[in-house]
Amino acid sequence: MKGAEKLAMREAANCADEVLTALGMETLPVDPFAVATRKDIIVQAADLDSCSGCLTVVGSAYGILYARGLGNEGFERFTVSHELGHFFLPGHPTALFANGRTIHQSHSGFVSADPIERQADYFAGALLMPERLFRGALRAQQAVGFGTVQALAAMCRTSITATAIRFALYADDPVAVIVSKGQTVEYCFMSDAITTRRGLSWLRKGSPVPRRTVTADFNRTASNITGAVEKEGTSMLSDWFDGAPDTEMNEDVVGLGRYDRTLTVLFTDEALDEEGEETGDDE
């Protein structure tokens, strides 16, 4: 993650924490609809086809619309939280409602490259899964891999994808979360145990899904994705990341249904090999 993006993410997290503290909302699950009500923001479902949600302003009155029929409570809550981000984040209202504009249409869920959209996504993640509460819930988990993501998503009432991203950010063990479409990587989030590894190249948006992986095989069958099929296997960290050690990773793969993408969780509870350490037989 680049420096500017990291800074924007931290600013979003601090802002979300301040909002929750000011409102005395310090338990999971966080209710973004209640946050809006406390701020006199009217929230309504609407038939939107060109965006996931929008923030409107008339005079000093703000309103949020979110797409009806997303069919996913977690994504609805994320969308409302994204719009709250535009309301609370310093500079957002000024930027979005310049020159008499009264509506901002959002594309939430980490699909946009626009820095203002990405910061609102980070705000949404941090509002629904505040670091302190999320880390506590993560440490209490017995499950591993995708099971951890499912348990945390149930606790936070968040989507699988948004939860998996937070899981990657806060896991102590080596964890990478990859979202792919067909044979192309859309994005990847990694835990510190991977990002701080020297000489390892990060997986970029648009990279091909490595061929010898469970994910590559899984994505060849469209019904795996539409049918939300789950599959488990293993792959090597070095299959995914150039310059990574040959550490065997568990690879949990799940089809994201209507979202038409695949979520991959790579994880191990073993530390990555020391750099330069001989792992094979010397002879």
Q: Give the residues lining the site for Zn ion (CB under 5 A).
A: 106, 117, 120
Closer residue to Zn ion, CB minimum distance, 41 or 120: 120
Residue closer to Zn ion (CB basis): 76 or 117: 117
**Residue 145 region by backbone torsions, left for phi larger than 0, else alpha for psi between -120 and 50, else beta:** left
Burial class (CB in 10 A: 0-12, 13-18, 19+), 2: exposed
* Nearest residue to the partner Zn ion, using Cβ: 106
Measured distance CA(163)–CA(186) in Å, rounded: 16
Q: At closest approach, how far in Å is the CB of 106 from Zn ion?
A: 3
Query: CB of residue 20 vs Zn ion: minimum separation in angstroms?
Result: 20
Min CB(255)–Zn ion separation in Å: 27
- Residue 68 or residue 132: which is nearer to Zn ion going by CB? 68
Q: Where are the alpha helices (DSSP H) in the chain?
A: 3-23, 32-38, 73-88, 92-96, 115-128, 131-139, 146-156, 160-170, 192-195, 214-218, 222-226, 237-240
76 or 239: whose CB is closer to Zn ion? Answer: 76
Contact 219, 183 (CB under 8 A): yes
Cβ 43 to Zn ion shortest distance, Å: 15
